[in-house]
Amino acid sequence: MASLGDTQTQAPDRHIGDVILDLQGISLSFGGVKALTNISFDVREHEIRSIIGPNGAGKSSMLNVINGVYRPQEGEITFHGKVRKDMDPHRAATQGIARTFQNIALFKGMSVLDNIMTGRNLKMKCNLFEHALYWGRAQKEEIEHRKKVEEVIDFLEIQSIRKTPVGRLPYGLQKRVELGRALAAEPTLLLLDEPMAGMNVEEKQDMCRFILDVNDQFGTTIVLIEHDMGVVMDISDRVVVLDYGKKIGDGVPDEVKNNPEVIAAYLGTSH
Ligand SMILES: Nc1ncnc2c1ncn2[C@@H]1O[C@H](COP(=O)(O)OP(=O)(O)OP(=O)(O)O)[C@@H](O)[C@H]1O
Ligand SMILES: [Mg+2]
C-alpha cells in the first residue's frame, strides 16, 4: 500500500469529543441512480473522519448531503443535537460548515487575497446600504476581515502569492488557496473533497500538515474524502467506507484496513 513515509502521525492524547453530526439511514437517488443507500455514521467533535471508496461510491454525494446541497429522500441528520430540516448550503455555512470541492471552485482571475476574502462573506454584517450610510463602521469591519484573511494567508504560508491571480498558480497551490477560503469562514466542521488529488508527494505532505494543523490548532472537526490510502490511514481517527452507495466498513484505520469486504472492494483496486 502506498504510504507517505514522513507524514506526521497523530498525537496519542488527542481529545475527541461528543458526536456533533449524526447521519441515520440516509438514502439519496437521482432518478434511477441510487447514489446512497441507507447510510448511517457519526462524526465526533475534533476528529478527522475520512470517507473512502472507489469512484462513484457516493462520497461527494455524502458531503453534498452534509452541507445541504442535496436533500436525501430518506434518513435523518442531527447536527449539534438538533434534527436538521430544510437544509441548504447557506444555512449550513451559517452553522459553521465549510467545504472545499473536488474540482477547484475559485475565481481564477481574482487574486489569492480576494478569493480568500470571499470566505468572509457570511461574516460581513454591513450591507451595501449600510456601507453608504455608516462609512466608518463598514471601514472598521473591512479592516477586521482583512486581518482574519491575513492570518489565514500566514497560516498557509502563501504570503508571497497573495496578490497573484489564482489562475496563474500551479494546481497544488490553488488547492491550498481553496482551503484558505474555507478557513476564512472560521468553520467548526470542515468538509474536504479530495484536497490532495492530482498533487505530487511533496504537495501532499504540505496539505497533510495543514489539515493536521487546522485540526490541532483550531480544534476544527474534519470530514475528509481522499483516495490516497497512505494519507487516509495515517491521519484519520476513523474511516467510513462506501461502495456502490452502501456502507461496507466503518472504524479506526486498522479495523478498516483488515476488513475483507473493504480489501475486496477498494484496497485491492489500483486507486
Ligand atoms: N447531480 C447528480 N445527478 C445524477 N447523478 C449523480 C449526481 N451526482 C452524483 N451522481 C451519481 O451518484 C453516484 C455517486 O457519485 P459521487 O460523485 O457521489 O461519487 P464519488 O464517490 O464522489 O466518486 P469519485 O471518487 O469519482 O469522486 C454516481 O453514480 C454518480 O454518477
Ligand atoms: Mg467525488
Q: What is the mean pLDDT of residues 128-154?
A: 79
Nearest protein CA to atom 6 of ligand 1, as residue: 30
Distance 57 CA to ligand 1 centre (A): 7
Q: Is 56 in the pocket of ligand 1 (CB under 6 A)?
A: yes
Alpha-carbon dihedral 266, 214, 192, 264, rounded to 10 degrees: 10
Q: How far is residue 261's CA from residue 263's CA, in Å, rounded to a whole number?
A: 5
Q: What is the pLDDT of residues 150-197, one digit of tens each?
A: 999 999 999 999 999 999 999 999 999 999 999 999 999 999 999 999
Q: Are 43 and 49 in contact (CB under 8 A)?
A: yes
Quote the pTM value.
0.90
35 lines ligand 1 (CB under 6 A): yes
CA–CA distance, 185 with 41 (Å, rounded to integer):
26
What size, in residues, is the chain?
Answer: 271
d(Cα 207, Cα 47) in Å, to the nearest integer? 17
Are 71 and 61 in contact by the 8 Å Cβ rule? The answer is: no
| DSSP sequence for 186-240 | --SEEEEESTTTT--HHHHHHHHHHHHHHHHHS--EEEEE-S-HHHHHHH-SEEE
| Residues in contact with 200: Cβ distance below 8 Å, sequence separation at least 6, in sequence order | 172
The rounded distance, in Å, linking the Cα atoms of 93 and 35 is 24
35 C-alpha to center of ligand 1: Å?
A: 6
* Domain 14-96+189-195+221-271: top CATH class: alpha beta
| DSSP track, 92-113 | HHHTTEEEE-SS--S-TTSBHH
Q: DSSP states of 130-198 as a string?
A: HHHH-HHHHHHHHHHHHHHHHHHHHHTT-GGGTTSBGGGS-HHHHHHHHHHHHHHT--SEEEEESTTTT
Ligand 2 centre to CA of 36 (Å) is 13
Q: Residue 186 corresponds to which cell in the numbers above?
A: 472560521
CB 189 within 8 A of CB 224: no
pLDDT tens for each residue of 217-237: 999 999 999 999 999 999 999
pLDDT digits (tens, 9 = 90+) for 24-63: 999 999 998 999 999 999 999 999 999 999 999 999 999 9
Residue type, 219: G
Question: How far is residue 36's CA from residue 112's CA, in Å, rounded to a whole number?
Answer: 36
Boundaries of every domain in the chain: 14-96+189-195+221-271, 104-186
195 within 8 A of 100, measured Cβ to Cβ? yes
User: Per DSSP, what are the bridge partners of residue 51?
Assistant: 225, 240
In contact, 184 and 100? CB cutoff 8 Å: no
121 versus 2: the higher-pLDDT residue is 121
When pLDDT is cut at 50, 70 and 90, the band that residue 85 belongs to is: confident
**Hey, which of 34, 60, 101, 103 would you mutate to test ligand 1's pocket, going by the most ligand atoms within 8 Å of its Cβ?**
60
What are the strands of the beta sheet with 33-44, ordered from one edge? 33-44, 19-30, 74-79, 82-83
